[in-house]
Structure 1
Amino acid sequence: MTRVSDPGTHWEVTDPARLATMIRLRALRMVAPHGFGYLGQALSSAEQLAALFTVMRPGRDRLVCSPSHYVIGFFAAAAELGILSEDDAETYGQDGSPVEAIGTERSPVMDYTCGSLGQGLSAAAGFALSDRLKGKDRRTFAFISDGELEEGQIWEAAMFAGHHRLNRLTVLLDANNSQVDGPVDTITTIEPIAAKWQAFGWTAQDIDGHDVDAVIKALAEAAEGDKPYVLINRTSTMRGLDCLPADADGHFIKLSPDLAARAEAELTGKLERRDA
Protein backbone atom coordinates (compact mmCIF):
# COMPACT_ATOMS: atom_id res chain seq x y z
CA MET A 1 0.00 0.00 0.00
CA THR A 2 1.30 3.43 -0.94
CA ARG A 3 2.30 5.90 1.76
CA VAL A 4 2.99 9.58 1.19
CA SER A 5 6.70 9.29 2.05
CA ASP A 6 7.34 6.35 -0.32
CA PRO A 7 9.90 7.20 -3.03
CA GLY A 8 8.17 8.00 -6.29
CA THR A 9 4.88 9.02 -4.71
CA HIS A 10 3.47 12.05 -6.52
CA TRP A 11 0.54 14.43 -6.27
CA GLU A 12 -0.18 18.07 -6.98
CA VAL A 13 -2.70 20.47 -5.47
CA THR A 14 -3.69 23.35 -7.73
CA ASP A 15 -6.78 24.59 -5.86
CA PRO A 16 -6.74 23.85 -2.11
CA ALA A 17 -10.20 25.32 -1.45
CA ARG A 18 -11.73 23.15 -4.16
CA LEU A 19 -9.89 20.12 -2.79
CA ALA A 20 -11.47 20.76 0.63
CA THR A 21 -14.94 20.55 -0.94
CA MET A 22 -13.96 17.42 -2.84
CA ILE A 23 -12.75 15.83 0.42
CA ARG A 24 -16.18 16.46 1.94
CA LEU A 25 -17.97 15.07 -1.10
CA ARG A 26 -15.76 12.00 -1.34
CA ALA A 27 -16.14 11.31 2.39
CA LEU A 28 -19.91 11.63 2.07
CA ARG A 29 -19.92 9.06 -0.73
CA MET A 30 -17.75 6.72 1.35
CA VAL A 31 -20.08 6.90 4.35
CA ALA A 32 -23.47 7.00 2.58
CA PRO A 33 -23.67 3.26 1.71
CA HIS A 34 -23.30 2.42 5.41
CA GLY A 35 -25.93 4.92 6.57
CA PHE A 36 -23.66 6.30 9.30
CA GLY A 37 -20.02 6.97 9.98
CA TYR A 38 -17.22 9.41 10.71
CA LEU A 39 -18.32 12.09 8.27
CA GLY A 40 -18.06 14.85 10.86
CA GLN A 41 -14.31 14.29 11.18
CA ALA A 42 -13.88 14.86 7.44
CA LEU A 43 -16.08 17.97 7.60
CA SER A 44 -13.98 19.51 10.38
CA SER A 45 -10.60 18.59 8.90
CA ALA A 46 -11.16 19.16 5.16
CA GLU A 47 -9.31 22.50 4.93
CA GLN A 48 -6.50 21.25 7.14
CA LEU A 49 -5.97 18.20 4.93
CA ALA A 50 -6.17 20.27 1.74
CA ALA A 51 -3.54 22.60 3.17
CA LEU A 52 -1.41 19.70 4.37
CA PHE A 53 -1.29 18.03 0.96
CA THR A 54 -0.48 21.43 -0.56
CA VAL A 55 2.55 21.91 1.68
CA MET A 56 3.87 18.34 2.06
CA ARG A 57 6.63 17.22 -0.29
CA PRO A 58 5.67 13.93 -1.99
CA GLY A 59 8.01 11.03 -1.36
CA ARG A 60 9.83 12.90 1.39
CA ASP A 61 7.80 14.26 4.29
CA ARG A 62 6.13 11.96 6.80
CA LEU A 63 2.46 11.93 7.78
CA VAL A 64 0.93 10.67 11.03
CA CYS A 65 -2.79 10.47 11.80
CA SER A 66 -3.18 9.93 15.53
CA PRO A 67 -7.00 9.70 15.91
CA SER A 68 -7.61 6.72 13.65
CA HIS A 69 -11.29 7.42 13.03
CA TYR A 70 -10.14 10.53 11.12
CA VAL A 71 -8.62 8.39 8.38
CA ILE A 72 -11.71 8.93 6.23
CA GLY A 73 -10.49 12.46 5.47
CA PHE A 74 -7.00 11.28 4.59
CA PHE A 75 -8.40 8.54 2.36
CA ALA A 76 -10.73 11.02 0.66
CA ALA A 77 -7.89 13.44 -0.05
CA ALA A 78 -5.64 10.64 -1.28
CA ALA A 79 -8.32 9.34 -3.64
CA GLU A 80 -8.83 12.80 -5.10
CA LEU A 81 -5.07 13.21 -5.64
CA GLY A 82 -4.46 9.77 -7.13
CA ILE A 83 -2.52 8.35 -4.19
CA LEU A 84 -5.32 5.91 -3.36
CA SER A 85 -7.05 4.05 -6.19
CA GLU A 86 -10.73 4.50 -6.92
CA ASP A 87 -11.28 0.78 -6.42
CA ASP A 88 -9.69 0.85 -2.97
CA ALA A 89 -11.57 3.99 -1.94
CA GLU A 90 -14.87 2.31 -2.80
CA THR A 91 -14.15 -0.46 -0.28
CA TYR A 92 -14.04 1.98 2.66
CA GLY A 93 -15.32 0.32 5.82
CA GLN A 94 -15.99 -3.05 4.21
CA ASP A 95 -14.90 -6.32 5.79
CA GLY A 96 -11.35 -7.23 4.78
CA SER A 97 -10.57 -3.87 3.20
CA PRO A 98 -7.33 -2.06 4.16
CA VAL A 99 -9.30 1.18 3.71
CA GLU A 100 -10.81 0.85 7.15
CA ALA A 101 -13.28 3.03 9.00
CA ILE A 102 -10.81 3.03 11.89
CA GLY A 103 -7.20 2.91 10.75
CA THR A 104 -4.59 0.32 11.73
CA GLU A 105 -0.94 -0.41 11.03
CA ARG A 106 -1.89 -1.75 7.57
CA SER A 107 -3.73 1.40 6.48
CA PRO A 108 -2.44 3.04 3.29
CA VAL A 109 -1.55 6.73 2.77
CA MET A 110 -0.32 7.69 6.28
CA ASP A 111 3.11 6.63 7.54
CA TYR A 112 1.54 5.85 10.90
CA THR A 113 -1.89 5.65 12.44
CA CYS A 114 -3.04 3.93 15.57
CA GLY A 115 -6.24 2.47 16.91
CA SER A 116 -5.86 3.76 20.45
CA LEU A 117 -6.06 7.52 20.84
CA GLY A 118 -3.12 9.56 22.09
CA GLN A 119 -0.28 7.55 20.56
CA GLY A 120 0.38 9.35 17.28
CA LEU A 121 2.48 12.20 18.63
CA SER A 122 4.90 9.72 20.19
CA ALA A 123 5.43 8.08 16.79
CA ALA A 124 5.80 11.45 15.10
CA ALA A 125 8.42 12.58 17.61
CA GLY A 126 10.30 9.35 16.99
CA PHE A 127 10.21 9.92 13.23
CA ALA A 128 11.47 13.49 13.64
CA LEU A 129 14.32 12.51 15.95
CA SER A 130 15.32 9.58 13.74
CA ASP A 131 15.43 11.77 10.64
CA ARG A 132 17.55 14.35 12.48
CA LEU A 133 20.04 11.69 13.60
CA LYS A 134 20.23 10.31 10.06
CA GLY A 135 20.62 13.78 8.53
CA LYS A 136 17.51 13.41 6.38
CA ASP A 137 15.74 16.46 5.02
CA ARG A 138 12.21 15.56 6.07
CA ARG A 139 9.37 17.21 7.90
CA THR A 140 6.98 15.16 10.02
CA PHE A 141 3.36 16.27 10.18
CA ALA A 142 1.18 14.85 12.94
CA PHE A 143 -2.59 15.28 12.96
CA ILE A 144 -4.19 15.03 16.40
CA SER A 145 -7.57 15.85 17.94
CA ASP A 146 -8.53 18.02 20.90
CA GLY A 147 -10.09 15.04 22.69
CA GLU A 148 -6.66 13.43 22.67
CA LEU A 149 -5.38 16.23 24.88
CA GLU A 150 -7.06 14.34 27.71
CA GLU A 151 -4.46 11.59 27.19
CA GLY A 152 -1.29 11.76 29.28
CA GLN A 153 0.80 10.25 26.50
CA ILE A 154 0.23 13.34 24.35
CA TRP A 155 1.89 15.53 26.96
CA GLU A 156 4.77 13.12 27.52
CA ALA A 157 5.46 13.24 23.78
CA ALA A 158 5.07 17.02 23.71
CA MET A 159 7.57 17.38 26.56
CA PHE A 160 10.02 15.05 24.75
CA ALA A 161 9.73 16.97 21.48
CA GLY A 162 10.11 20.32 23.22
CA HIS A 163 13.19 19.13 25.12
CA HIS A 164 14.86 17.95 21.92
CA ARG A 165 13.70 21.03 19.97
CA LEU A 166 12.35 18.88 17.15
CA ASN A 167 11.75 21.82 14.85
CA ARG A 168 10.94 19.59 11.86
CA LEU A 169 7.85 18.33 13.71
CA THR A 170 4.57 20.12 13.02
CA VAL A 171 1.27 19.24 14.69
CA LEU A 172 -2.16 20.05 13.29
CA LEU A 173 -4.61 19.99 16.18
CA ASP A 174 -8.26 19.71 15.16
CA ALA A 175 -10.05 21.62 17.91
CA ASN A 176 -13.68 20.84 17.01
CA ASN A 177 -14.84 20.38 20.63
CA SER A 178 -16.31 16.98 19.79
CA GLN A 179 -15.75 13.50 21.16
CA VAL A 180 -17.86 10.38 21.59
CA ASP A 181 -19.07 11.36 25.08
CA GLY A 182 -20.11 14.86 23.99
CA PRO A 183 -18.45 18.28 23.74
CA VAL A 184 -14.85 18.09 24.92
CA ASP A 185 -15.25 21.06 27.25
CA THR A 186 -18.01 19.23 29.14
CA ILE A 187 -15.74 16.24 29.76
CA THR A 188 -12.40 17.84 30.61
CA THR A 189 -11.19 21.44 30.63
CA ILE A 190 -8.30 21.57 28.15
CA GLU A 191 -8.00 25.33 27.72
CA PRO A 192 -5.84 27.33 27.45
CA ILE A 193 -4.51 25.04 24.73
CA ALA A 194 -1.85 27.31 23.22
CA ALA A 195 -0.39 28.27 26.60
CA LYS A 196 -0.02 24.59 27.57
CA TRP A 197 1.96 23.75 24.41
CA GLN A 198 4.11 26.86 24.80
CA ALA A 199 4.92 25.79 28.35
CA PHE A 200 6.23 22.51 26.92
CA GLY A 201 8.62 24.36 24.58
CA TRP A 202 6.51 24.58 21.43
CA THR A 203 5.57 27.43 19.15
CA ALA A 204 1.76 27.56 19.13
CA GLN A 205 -0.65 29.38 16.85
CA ASP A 206 -4.45 29.47 17.18
CA ILE A 207 -6.43 30.02 13.94
CA ASP A 208 -9.66 29.40 12.06
CA GLY A 209 -9.10 25.86 10.79
CA HIS A 210 -11.58 26.39 7.95
CA ASP A 211 -9.46 29.18 6.41
CA VAL A 212 -7.39 27.06 4.05
CA ASP A 213 -5.07 29.91 3.05
CA ALA A 214 -4.32 30.69 6.70
CA VAL A 215 -3.52 27.03 7.38
CA ILE A 216 -1.19 26.85 4.37
CA LYS A 217 0.59 30.03 5.47
CA ALA A 218 1.04 28.73 9.01
CA LEU A 219 2.37 25.35 7.85
CA ALA A 220 4.90 27.10 5.63
CA GLU A 221 6.01 29.38 8.48
CA ALA A 222 6.40 26.40 10.80
CA ALA A 223 9.30 25.12 8.69
CA GLU A 224 11.37 28.20 9.54
CA GLY A 225 11.26 27.97 13.34
CA ASP A 226 13.68 26.45 15.85
CA LYS A 227 11.03 24.65 17.94
CA PRO A 228 8.33 22.08 17.28
CA TYR A 229 5.18 23.81 16.09
CA VAL A 230 1.51 23.21 16.87
CA LEU A 231 -1.28 24.75 14.82
CA ILE A 232 -4.53 24.85 16.80
CA ASN A 233 -7.35 24.74 14.24
CA ARG A 234 -10.76 25.84 15.53
CA THR A 235 -13.32 23.88 13.52
CA SER A 236 -16.82 22.38 13.43
CA THR A 237 -17.99 18.85 12.65
CA MET A 238 -20.95 20.38 10.77
CA ARG A 239 -18.93 22.67 8.50
CA GLY A 240 -19.74 22.62 4.80
CA LEU A 241 -23.13 20.89 4.97
CA ASP A 242 -26.01 23.20 5.78
CA CYS A 243 -28.50 20.37 5.26
CA LEU A 244 -27.42 18.54 8.41
CA PRO A 245 -29.96 18.82 11.23
CA ALA A 246 -28.95 21.06 14.12
CA ASP A 247 -28.97 18.12 16.53
CA ALA A 248 -26.81 15.84 14.36
CA ASP A 249 -24.17 13.94 16.34
CA GLY A 250 -21.02 15.30 14.76
CA HIS A 251 -18.88 12.48 16.10
CA PHE A 252 -20.83 9.76 14.29
CA ILE A 253 -23.31 11.19 11.79
CA LYS A 254 -26.34 9.15 10.72
CA LEU A 255 -27.25 9.50 7.06
CA SER A 256 -30.66 8.44 5.82
CA PRO A 257 -30.89 7.98 2.04
CA ASP A 258 -32.80 11.28 1.81
CA LEU A 259 -30.23 13.19 3.87
CA ALA A 260 -27.35 11.67 1.90
CA ALA A 261 -29.00 12.75 -1.37
CA ARG A 262 -29.51 16.30 -0.09
CA ALA A 263 -25.92 16.46 1.12
CA GLU A 264 -24.63 15.24 -2.24
CA ALA A 265 -26.72 17.85 -4.05
CA GLU A 266 -25.45 20.61 -1.76
CA LEU A 267 -21.78 19.75 -2.26
CA THR A 268 -22.01 19.14 -6.00
CA GLY A 269 -23.86 22.44 -6.29
CA LYS A 270 -21.02 24.24 -4.56
CA LEU A 271 -18.53 22.70 -6.96
CA GLU A 272 -20.63 23.62 -9.98
CA ARG A 273 -20.92 27.23 -8.86
CA ARG A 274 -17.19 27.36 -8.14
CA ASP A 275 -16.31 25.92 -11.54
CA ALA A 276 -18.79 28.07 -13.50
Structure 2
Amino acid sequence: MSALDTGTAVGTDAAVDLARRIRLHAVRMVTPHGFGYLGQALSSAEQLAVLHTHWFRQGVDRFVCSPGHYVIAAYAVAREAGELTDTQLGEYGQDGADLEAIGTETSPAVDLTCGSLAQGLSGAAGFALADRLRGLEGSRRTFVLVSDGEMQEGQTWEAALFAGHHRLRDVVVLLDANDSQVDGPVSSITTIDPLVDKWASFGWYAEEVDGHDTAALRAALGRAIEDERPGVVVARTSTVHGLACLPEDADGHFIKLPAELAARALAELEDGDA
Protein backbone atom coordinates (compact mmCIF):
# COMPACT_ATOMS: atom_id res chain seq x y z
CA MET A 1 0.00 0.00 0.00
CA SER A 2 1.31 3.41 -0.92
CA ALA A 3 1.15 6.81 0.67
CA LEU A 4 -0.93 9.22 -1.34
CA ASP A 5 1.38 12.09 -0.56
CA THR A 6 4.95 11.99 0.71
CA GLY A 7 7.31 14.76 1.67
CA THR A 8 4.75 17.57 1.74
CA ALA A 9 2.29 18.84 4.30
CA VAL A 10 -1.30 17.98 3.53
CA GLY A 11 -4.32 19.51 5.20
CA THR A 12 -6.79 17.45 7.20
CA ASP A 13 -9.42 18.09 4.51
CA ALA A 14 -7.45 15.75 2.23
CA ALA A 15 -7.92 12.95 4.73
CA VAL A 16 -11.63 13.69 5.01
CA ASP A 17 -12.02 13.44 1.24
CA LEU A 18 -9.94 10.27 1.09
CA ALA A 19 -12.16 8.70 3.77
CA ARG A 20 -15.21 9.50 1.62
CA ARG A 21 -13.58 7.89 -1.40
CA ILE A 22 -12.64 4.80 0.61
CA ARG A 23 -16.33 4.43 1.44
CA LEU A 24 -17.32 5.05 -2.18
CA HIS A 25 -14.98 2.36 -3.51
CA ALA A 26 -16.19 -0.06 -0.82
CA VAL A 27 -19.83 0.48 -1.78
CA ARG A 28 -18.97 -0.10 -5.42
CA MET A 29 -17.18 -3.33 -4.51
CA VAL A 30 -20.04 -4.85 -2.53
CA THR A 31 -22.90 -3.58 -4.73
CA PRO A 32 -22.72 -6.45 -7.27
CA HIS A 33 -23.05 -8.96 -4.44
CA GLY A 34 -25.83 -7.20 -2.54
CA PHE A 35 -23.99 -7.65 0.76
CA GLY A 36 -20.47 -7.70 2.11
CA TYR A 37 -17.86 -6.31 4.46
CA LEU A 38 -18.89 -2.71 3.96
CA GLY A 39 -19.12 -1.89 7.66
CA GLN A 40 -15.41 -2.53 8.13
CA ALA A 41 -14.56 0.07 5.49
CA LEU A 42 -17.04 2.54 6.99
CA SER A 43 -15.54 2.24 10.46
CA SER A 44 -11.86 2.29 9.45
CA ALA A 45 -12.01 4.85 6.62
CA GLU A 46 -10.71 7.83 8.59
CA GLN A 47 -7.94 5.79 10.19
CA LEU A 48 -6.55 4.61 6.87
CA ALA A 49 -7.11 8.02 5.29
CA VAL A 50 -5.12 9.82 8.00
CA LEU A 51 -2.40 7.18 7.96
CA HIS A 52 -1.88 7.38 4.23
CA THR A 53 -2.33 11.12 3.91
CA HIS A 54 0.06 12.08 6.69
CA TRP A 55 2.27 9.28 8.00
CA PHE A 56 2.75 6.32 5.67
CA ARG A 57 5.92 6.51 3.56
CA GLN A 58 5.60 4.82 0.21
CA GLY A 59 8.25 2.18 -0.40
CA VAL A 60 9.52 2.48 3.16
CA ASP A 61 6.88 1.60 5.75
CA ARG A 62 4.86 -1.62 6.00
CA PHE A 63 1.12 -2.08 6.40
CA VAL A 64 -0.33 -5.16 8.10
CA CYS A 65 -4.08 -5.80 7.94
CA SER A 66 -4.70 -8.25 10.78
CA PRO A 67 -8.46 -8.89 10.25
CA GLY A 68 -8.61 -10.28 6.73
CA HIS A 69 -12.12 -8.99 6.00
CA TYR A 70 -10.92 -5.39 6.48
CA VAL A 71 -8.84 -5.77 3.33
CA ILE A 72 -11.68 -4.11 1.40
CA ALA A 73 -10.57 -0.77 2.88
CA ALA A 74 -6.95 -1.44 1.94
CA TYR A 75 -8.01 -2.15 -1.64
CA ALA A 76 -9.85 1.18 -1.72
CA VAL A 77 -6.74 3.08 -0.59
CA ALA A 78 -4.59 1.21 -3.11
CA ARG A 79 -6.98 2.25 -5.88
CA GLU A 80 -6.60 5.89 -4.85
CA ALA A 81 -2.82 5.44 -4.91
CA GLY A 82 -2.96 4.03 -8.44
CA GLU A 83 -1.86 0.55 -7.40
CA LEU A 84 -5.14 -1.12 -8.33
CA THR A 85 -7.59 -0.47 -11.17
CA ASP A 86 -11.33 0.04 -11.29
CA THR A 87 -11.52 -3.26 -13.18
CA GLN A 88 -9.83 -5.09 -10.33
CA LEU A 89 -12.12 -3.46 -7.77
CA GLY A 90 -15.11 -4.42 -9.92
CA GLU A 91 -14.09 -8.08 -9.69
CA TYR A 92 -13.74 -7.99 -5.90
CA GLY A 93 -14.87 -11.20 -4.24
CA GLN A 94 -15.59 -13.05 -7.48
CA ASP A 95 -14.21 -16.50 -8.27
CA GLY A 96 -10.67 -16.26 -9.63
CA ALA A 97 -10.38 -12.51 -8.96
CA ASP A 98 -7.19 -10.80 -7.75
CA LEU A 99 -9.07 -9.26 -4.83
CA GLU A 100 -10.46 -11.75 -2.35
CA ALA A 101 -13.28 -10.71 -0.04
CA ILE A 102 -11.18 -11.95 2.87
CA GLY A 103 -7.49 -11.25 2.42
CA THR A 104 -4.90 -14.02 2.15
CA GLU A 105 -1.14 -14.26 1.75
CA THR A 106 -1.58 -13.51 -1.98
CA SER A 107 -3.66 -10.34 -1.57
CA PRO A 108 -2.26 -7.15 -3.09
CA ALA A 109 -2.23 -3.75 -1.35
CA VAL A 110 -0.88 -5.00 1.99
CA ASP A 111 2.43 -6.35 3.24
CA LEU A 112 0.68 -8.98 5.35
CA THR A 113 -2.82 -10.17 6.02
CA CYS A 114 -3.54 -13.47 7.64
CA GLY A 115 -7.15 -14.36 6.94
CA SER A 116 -7.61 -15.84 10.40
CA LEU A 117 -7.98 -13.21 13.11
CA ALA A 118 -5.35 -12.14 15.66
CA GLN A 119 -2.23 -13.12 13.72
CA GLY A 120 -1.34 -9.71 12.30
CA LEU A 121 0.31 -8.23 15.38
CA SER A 122 2.58 -11.27 15.67
CA GLY A 123 3.67 -10.75 12.08
CA ALA A 124 4.26 -7.05 12.68
CA ALA A 125 6.40 -7.78 15.74
CA GLY A 126 8.39 -10.20 13.61
CA PHE A 127 8.97 -7.53 10.96
CA ALA A 128 10.19 -5.05 13.57
CA LEU A 129 12.44 -7.54 15.33
CA ALA A 130 13.95 -8.60 11.98
CA ASP A 131 14.71 -4.95 11.22
CA ARG A 132 16.46 -4.61 14.58
CA LEU A 133 18.58 -7.71 13.99
CA ARG A 134 19.57 -6.35 10.57
CA GLY A 135 20.55 -2.99 12.00
CA LEU A 136 17.57 -1.26 10.38
CA GLU A 137 15.64 -0.27 13.49
CA GLY A 138 14.23 3.22 13.19
CA SER A 139 14.45 3.27 9.40
CA ARG A 140 10.85 2.22 8.77
CA ARG A 141 7.63 1.64 10.65
CA THR A 142 5.19 -1.23 10.62
CA PHE A 143 1.60 -0.04 10.93
CA VAL A 144 -0.99 -2.63 11.94
CA LEU A 145 -4.75 -2.43 11.61
CA VAL A 146 -6.36 -4.51 14.36
CA SER A 147 -10.03 -5.04 15.23
CA ASP A 148 -11.54 -4.92 18.70
CA GLY A 149 -12.93 -8.42 18.24
CA GLU A 150 -9.33 -9.61 18.11
CA MET A 151 -8.87 -8.41 21.68
CA GLN A 152 -10.64 -11.63 22.67
CA GLU A 153 -7.82 -13.66 21.11
CA GLY A 154 -4.88 -14.77 23.24
CA GLN A 155 -2.39 -14.45 20.40
CA THR A 156 -2.99 -10.70 20.21
CA TRP A 157 -2.01 -10.24 23.85
CA GLU A 158 1.00 -12.54 23.54
CA ALA A 159 2.24 -10.41 20.66
CA ALA A 160 1.50 -7.20 22.58
CA LEU A 161 3.45 -8.53 25.57
CA PHE A 162 6.38 -9.49 23.32
CA ALA A 163 6.49 -6.14 21.52
CA GLY A 164 6.24 -4.23 24.80
CA HIS A 165 8.98 -6.26 26.46
CA HIS A 166 11.35 -5.77 23.53
CA ARG A 167 10.31 -2.11 23.10
CA LEU A 168 9.63 -2.54 19.40
CA ARG A 169 8.95 1.16 18.86
CA ASP A 170 8.60 0.78 15.10
CA VAL A 171 5.27 -1.04 15.58
CA VAL A 172 2.21 1.24 15.60
CA VAL A 173 -1.29 -0.22 15.93
CA LEU A 174 -4.56 1.30 14.77
CA LEU A 175 -7.21 -0.50 16.80
CA ASP A 176 -10.62 -0.17 15.16
CA ALA A 177 -13.01 -0.37 18.12
CA ASN A 178 -16.32 -0.52 16.26
CA ASP A 179 -17.99 -2.85 18.79
CA SER A 180 -19.03 -5.25 16.03
CA GLN A 181 -18.38 -8.88 15.31
CA VAL A 182 -20.27 -11.71 13.64
CA ASP A 183 -22.03 -12.77 16.87
CA GLY A 184 -23.16 -9.24 17.74
CA PRO A 185 -21.70 -6.29 19.67
CA VAL A 186 -18.28 -7.10 21.09
CA SER A 187 -19.27 -5.52 24.39
CA SER A 188 -22.17 -7.99 24.77
CA ILE A 189 -19.93 -11.00 24.25
CA THR A 190 -16.70 -10.22 26.11
CA THR A 191 -15.70 -7.23 28.24
CA ILE A 192 -12.47 -6.00 26.66
CA ASP A 193 -12.27 -2.55 28.24
CA PRO A 194 -10.38 -0.69 29.58
CA LEU A 195 -8.30 -1.09 26.44
CA VAL A 196 -5.94 1.84 26.98
CA ASP A 197 -5.04 0.68 30.48
CA LYS A 198 -4.46 -2.87 29.32
CA TRP A 199 -2.14 -1.91 26.47
CA ALA A 200 -0.27 0.53 28.70
CA SER A 201 0.25 -2.21 31.28
CA PHE A 202 1.90 -4.28 28.55
CA GLY A 203 4.48 -1.56 27.95
CA TRP A 204 2.82 0.35 25.11
CA TYR A 205 2.08 3.99 24.48
CA ALA A 206 -1.74 3.93 24.34
CA GLU A 207 -4.32 6.61 23.57
CA GLU A 208 -8.02 6.60 22.75
CA VAL A 209 -9.68 8.93 20.24
CA ASP A 210 -12.83 9.40 18.20
CA GLY A 211 -11.94 7.27 15.20
CA HIS A 212 -13.88 9.49 12.79
CA ASP A 213 -12.10 12.70 13.85
CA THR A 214 -9.23 13.12 11.38
CA ALA A 215 -7.48 15.85 13.35
CA ALA A 216 -7.54 13.79 16.56
CA LEU A 217 -6.32 10.71 14.70
CA ARG A 218 -3.46 12.60 13.11
CA ALA A 219 -2.29 14.00 16.45
CA ALA A 220 -2.60 10.67 18.26
CA LEU A 221 -0.70 8.80 15.57
CA GLY A 222 2.04 11.40 15.76
CA ARG A 223 2.41 10.87 19.50
CA ALA A 224 2.42 7.09 19.10
CA ILE A 225 5.10 7.28 16.41
CA GLU A 226 7.35 9.57 18.44
CA ASP A 227 7.22 7.52 21.65
CA GLU A 228 10.07 5.15 22.54
CA ARG A 229 7.59 2.30 23.05
CA PRO A 230 5.38 0.51 20.55
CA GLY A 231 2.20 2.55 20.15
CA VAL A 232 -1.51 1.89 19.85
CA VAL A 233 -4.31 4.30 18.98
CA VAL A 234 -7.70 2.97 20.07
CA ALA A 235 -10.17 4.45 17.59
CA ARG A 236 -13.82 4.38 18.68
CA THR A 237 -15.88 4.01 15.52
CA SER A 238 -19.21 3.00 14.00
CA THR A 239 -19.86 0.52 11.19
CA VAL A 240 -22.50 2.78 9.64
CA HIS A 241 -20.59 6.06 9.87
CA GLY A 242 -20.48 8.19 6.74
CA LEU A 243 -23.61 6.78 5.08
CA ALA A 244 -26.77 8.49 6.27
CA CYS A 245 -28.94 6.26 4.09
CA LEU A 246 -28.14 3.12 6.09
CA PRO A 247 -30.71 2.08 8.70
CA GLU A 248 -29.55 2.47 12.29
CA ASP A 249 -30.02 -1.25 12.91
CA ALA A 250 -27.93 -2.34 9.93
CA ASP A 251 -25.79 -5.39 10.73
CA GLY A 252 -22.41 -3.72 10.70
CA HIS A 253 -20.42 -6.92 10.35
CA PHE A 254 -21.98 -7.97 7.05
CA ILE A 255 -24.16 -5.23 5.63
CA LYS A 256 -26.97 -6.11 3.22
CA LEU A 257 -27.09 -3.69 0.32
CA PRO A 258 -30.02 -4.33 -2.03
CA ALA A 259 -30.06 -2.45 -5.33
CA GLU A 260 -32.23 0.46 -4.15
CA LEU A 261 -30.13 1.06 -1.03
CA ALA A 262 -26.89 0.69 -3.01
CA ALA A 263 -28.07 3.37 -5.44
CA ARG A 264 -28.81 5.74 -2.56
CA ALA A 265 -25.41 5.04 -0.98
CA LEU A 266 -23.58 5.67 -4.25
CA ALA A 267 -25.46 8.91 -4.86
CA GLU A 268 -24.67 10.11 -1.35
CA LEU A 269 -20.95 9.43 -1.67
CA GLU A 270 -20.56 10.46 -5.30
CA ASP A 271 -22.00 13.87 -4.46
CA GLY A 272 -18.56 14.84 -3.13
CA ASP A 273 -17.09 14.43 -6.62
CA ALA A 274 -19.35 17.09 -8.09
- Place the TM-score, normalised by the shorter chain, in its bin: over 0.9
1:220 maps to which of 219, 222, 245: 222
After TM superposition, give the deviation of residue 221 of structure 1 in Å.
2.3
Q: Which SS does the other structure have where 2:235 is aligned?
A: strand
| Deviation digits for residues 10-42 of structure 1 (CA, Å, limit 9, x no counterpart) | 642851110000000110001001100000000
Cross-structure match for 2:64 = 64
CA contact (8 A) 2:3 2:52 kept: no
In 2, the alpha carbon distance for the partners of 1:223 and 1:197 equals 15
Cross-structure match for 1:143 = 145
Paired letter, 1:242: A
Query: How does 1:1-276 map onto structure 2 within 5 Å?
Result: 4=1, 11-12=4-5, 15-54=14-53, 55-136=55-136, 137-272=139-274
In 1, the alpha carbon distance for the partners of 2:45 and 2:5 equals 16
After TM superposition, give the deviation of residue 78 of structure 1 in Å.
0.8
| Deviation digits for residues 133-176 of structure 1 (CA, Å, limit 9, x no counterpart) | 21221100010000000000000000000000001110000000
Higher deviation after alignment, 148-157 or 133-142: 133-142
Structure 2 unaligned regions, length at least 5: none
Paired letter, 2:33: H
Q: How many residues align?
A: 265
Paired letter, 2:79: A
CA contact (8 A) 1:18 1:271 kept: no
In 2, the alpha carbon distance for the partners of 1:16 and 1:82 equals 17
In 2, the alpha carbon distance for the partners of 1:135 and 1:28 equals 43
In 2, the alpha carbon distance for the partners of 1:104 and 1:269 equals 33
After TM superposition, give the deviation of residue 271 of structure 1 in Å.
4.2
* Identical columns (%): 61
In 1, the alpha carbon distance for the partners of 2:3 and 2:156 equals 31
In 1, the alpha carbon distance for the partners of 2:240 and 2:272 equals 16
| Deviation digits for residues 111-132 of structure 1 (CA, Å, limit 9, x no counterpart) | 0001110100000000011112
Distance 1:194 1:10, change over 3 A: closer
Higher deviation after alignment, 132-141 or 199-208: 132-141
